[in-house]
Structure 1
Amino acid sequence: MRIAILGAGPAGLYLATLIKRRDARVDVTVIEQNPPDATFGFGVVFSDRALEFLRDDDEETCAAIAPHMESWEDMTLVLRGERVVIDGIGFAAIGRLELLQLLQARAGAAGVAPVYNRAVTSLDELAGYDLVVGADGVNSLVRRTYAGAFGASARLLTNRFAWFGTTQPFDTLTQTFVDSAFGPLDAHHYRYAADRSTFIVEVGTDTFARAGFASMSEAETRGLCERVFADALGGHKLISNNSIWRQFPVVHNARWSHGNCVLIGDALHTAHFSIGSGTRLALEDAIALDKALAAHRAVPDALAAFEAARRPVLEKLVAGANGSADWYERFGEHMRLAPLDFAMSYITRSGRIDLERLRTLSPRFVGRYEREHA
């Protein structure tokens, strides 16, 4: 079998690794339009038990990545200077480039040699392959080529966000909400190395306009964000890496495959960064697709099995991510709540956690909440 994978991000690299390790005879070509070290952003965060989802299927990759991760068991919300700690909400993080390099090493050990700096402009260039996998992100060529067949849709959320880094280490994943002179801002920040943290600044459309961000340079934007979040940064500066304002794309596909083409990762779906599951979902897509290919000799049967097995799980998680995104679209309204009520609104925003489950996950937080509301 000859397989072409467009995109050498986590989804594409990991799928190629799984396929080649399972059957070295399979001809797998990974094509990436960028150089191997091209990535924006700083750290990537994993929710819940970090890479536990990998242990059953791929203990070696899990063992290779886990030592490089920073982890913690609580998260912190800061509103009007008051800190509310929510216990039991664990996360782990790793540098985005470091994760990419680890996956590149795993792929190389399995015999995968990605082709970098090659931009495929038409799927006609991939004629002759038995399977074409679109692991090529939110602007996927595969999805755009067969948008009608996939039932593809994409929309942008209204909030803007800019992805910075900082040398300020944070004890937990922290959300700092500030009501500035030009409106509410939010910062998502967490450490991904001992001396490095991700610092994502998010604003609504009104704040974006009143602050004049649209006409600012990247350096001017960074400077203003440093002033707004001076307390959280504790004297540290923000670091830029293509830290422009973006709007989060919500990607959905009614059908996951067409002919010999299939989508995975961000090409297939997106999950708002506030739930820390985007990379995890991409890796899980790769696992599910490889299992389907192993179980079915005919490509159409394998792609149908992949979608049938994966869709129910994925749609549940994406629904939670969309619920979280909707909460953030109105985070300025939620900031009017008292800090504890705000924290309860935040932690239940996705619809996946109710008070009873939260009592088990976060007994100290729920205890405080119920005492103050007795």
Structure 2
Amino acid sequence: MRLDRVAVLGGGPAGLYFAYLWKRRHPEAQIDVFEQNPEGATWGFGVVFSDKALDFLRADDPETAEAVSARMEHWRDITLVHRGERVALDGVGFSAVGRLDFLIQLTARARSVGANLRFGTAVRSVDELAGYDLIVAADGVNSLVRRTYEGDFKTSLSYDDNKFAWYGTTKRFETLTQTFVETEFGSFNAHHYRYSPTMSTFIVECDRATWLRAGLAEKTEEQSRALCEKVFADTLGGHPLVNNKSVWRNFPWLWNERWSHRNMVLVGDALHTAHFSIGSGTRLALEDVIALVKALEGEPRDLRHALETYERERRPVVEKLVKAAKTSAAWYERFPEHMKLAPLDFAYSYITRSGRIDASQLRAMSPRFMARYDASSSASSISR
């Protein structure tokens, strides 16, 4: 098996990182990355990672990990705001970096090893890639490769019912914060965190009934932004929300039972999605790339076996995280019901939502929060 010519569809984190890793390890190979958008164009604002999420990168590629970490914002707690009360969940660390900043870094690294980056180049048909030894589909939820061969990949796609819109803001938040508010239309939630010294991501979410009552189905992008600024006026403290393709969407659950077909292989969001509430989408994409590179190098004589190895060894890890993401997303689908709880009970429900943390683990991880929670529970028992 010779991978002299490799085509990568998609110039997001997964595509750029594969191009960098493979060209660095195999300088004789020709790596062409096709990205339909111009260089420097991206949607969204910040990319968030859980506290330990870059450990895998430090183990396999410490140089890139250090370059990314140097540009990140870090914090140690999560803050929940419910009924106007702030509840800190200590020991739940995260880091974030601007999505554009992250892409600029990965673009520079891919170029530094000689990858051919073709921005502003739309591939209309897989037939245009004839002659490549390997095609890596890193082109997201709307992947051309996957859509062309959905039956072969055994693709399934479904959507959450909640609506969300992705904004930025100049307001700086010291931690990843979840703010829940009641309005005349219904309940809204905002996921917000800083990703640079001067900018934060601000994701607004609500159930469909609230979205319809607020008239958001008919509002323009600018009108929606204005309404969200009003709903979260206290949280924003006079700072504006910033649009960047900030349209209302339903979260897509994408899964493929087969990860490769012929000489084509899926990575990142072209392969699977994980709800933004657990902050693992970009991590999963980069880990897919590392696993794919290892499998290709481990089976240098047989591409089919290499791609089967990639799927066999990577699938259990991805399935576990996707399962946790679905459990987390299910909690958000019912967050107006959870808001009936008192703030500390609400916070406990939130932090245990994915099923991966129990009370004993939480006492070790978040001792200050659990001390408050246990004291509150004891006081409630006594009063009864």
- Which residue of 2 is the match for residue 31 of structure 1? 34
Displacement of 1:50 in angstroms is 4.4
Give the Cα separation in 2 of the matches to 1:91 and 1:50: 9
- Partner of residue 133 from structure 2, selected from 130, 133, 143: 130
Is the aligned partner of 1:357 residue 2:361? yes
- Which residue of 1 is the match for residue 381 of structure 2? none
Give the Cα separation in 1 of the matches to 2:339 and 2:189: 10
Is the aligned partner of 1:63 residue 2:66? yes
Give the Cα separation in 2 of the matches to 1:169 and 1:323: 29
SS of 1:244's equivalent? Answer: coil
Q: Is the 8 A contact 2:80 2:88 kept in 1?
A: yes
Give the Cα separation in 2 of the matches to 1:348 and 1:151: 33
Give the Cα separation in 2 of the matches to 1:232 and 1:53: 35
Displacement of 1:227 in angstroms is 1.0
Give the Cα separation in 1 of the matches to 2:222 and 2:336: 25
Question: What is the letter of the counterpart of residue 46 of structure 1?
Answer: F
Displacement of 1:52 in angstroms is 2.1
Displacement of 1:342 in angstroms is 0.7
SS of 1:128's equivalent? Answer: coil
- Partner of residue 310 from structure 1, selected from 298, 303, 314: 314
Question: What is the letter of the counterpart of residue 344 of structure 2?
Answer: L
- Which residue of 2 is the match for residue 203 of structure 1? 206
- Which residue of 2 is the match for residue 269 of structure 1? 272
Any idea what the Cα deviations from partners look like across 1:305-344, whole Å, max 9, x if unmatched?
1111111111101110111111111111111111111111
Any idea what the Cα deviations from partners look like across 1:4-38, whole Å, max 9, x if unmatched?
11101000000111101111112211111111112
Q: Is the 8 A contact 2:167 2:201 kept in 1?
A: yes
Displacement of 1:90 in angstroms is 0.5
Q: Is the 8 A contact 2:75 2:94 kept in 1?
A: yes
Question: What is the letter of the counterpart of residue 234 of structure 1?
Answer: G
SS of 1:201's equivalent? Answer: strand
Give the Cα separation in 2 of the matches to 1:52 and 1:72: 16
- Which residue of 2 is the match for residue 216 of structure 1? 219
Give the Cα separation in 2 of the matches to 1:24 and 1:13: 15
- Which residue of 2 is the match for residue 346 of structure 1? 350
- Which residue of 1 is the match for residue 261 of structure 2? 258
- Which residue of 1 is the match for residue 11 of structure 2? 8
Question: What is the letter of the counterpart of residue 183 of structure 1?
Answer: G
Q: Aligned-residue CA RMSD in angstroms?
A: 0.9
Question: What is the letter of the counterpart of residue 362 of structure 1?
Answer: S
Matches within 5 A, 1:290-301: 290-297=293-300, 298-301=302-305
Bigger mean CA offset, 77-86 vs 215-224: 215-224
Bigger mean CA offset, 95-104 vs 293-302: 293-302
Give the Cα separation in 2 of the matches to 1:260 and 1:113: 20
Q: Is the 8 A contact 1:12 1:30 kept in 2?
A: yes
- Which residue of 2 is the match for residue 226 of structure 1? 229
Displacement of 1:113 in angstroms is 2.0
SS of 1:68's equivalent? Answer: coil
Instruction: Could you tell me which runs of 5 or more consecutive residues in structure 1 were left unpaired when the two chains were aligned.
Output: none
- Which residue of 2 is the match for residue 322 of structure 1? 326
- Which residue of 2 is the match for residue 42 of structure 1? 45
Any idea what the Cα deviations from partners look like across 1:141-179, whole Å, max 9, x if unmatched?
111111111110111111111111111100100000001
SS of 1:373's equivalent? Answer: helix
- Which residue of 2 is the match for residue 94 of structure 1? 97
Bigger mean CA offset, 267-276 vs 118-127: 118-127
Question: What is the letter of the counterpart of residue 337 of structure 1?
Answer: L
Bigger mean CA offset, 339-348 vs 42-51: 42-51
Question: What is the letter of the counterpart of residue 334 of structure 1?
Answer: H
Bigger mean CA offset, 360-369 vs 279-288: 360-369
Bigger mean CA offset, 270-279 vs 46-55: 46-55
Displacement of 1:278 in angstroms is 0.5
SS of 1:215's equivalent? Answer: coil
Displacement of 1:354 in angstroms is 1.2
Question: What is the letter of the counterpart of residue 363 of structure 2?
Answer: R
- Partner of residue 86 from structure 2, selected from 60, 63, 83: 83
- Which residue of 1 is the match for residue 340 of structure 2? 336
Q: Aligned pairs, how many?
A: 374
Displacement of 1:349 in angstroms is 0.9
Is the aligned partner of 1:113 residue 2:116? yes
Matches within 5 A, 1:272-287: 272-287=275-290
Give the Cα separation in 2 of the matches to 1:37 and 1:154: 29
Displacement of 1:115 in angstroms is 0.9
Give the Cα separation in 1 of the matches to 2:262 and 2:53: 35
Give the Cα separation in 2 of the matches to 1:299 and 1:230: 55
Any idea what the Cα deviations from partners look like across 1:111-131, whole Å, max 9, x if unmatched?
112111111111111111111
Q: Is the 8 A contact 1:130 1:299 kept in 2?
A: no
TM-score, normalised by the number of residues in structure 1:
0.98
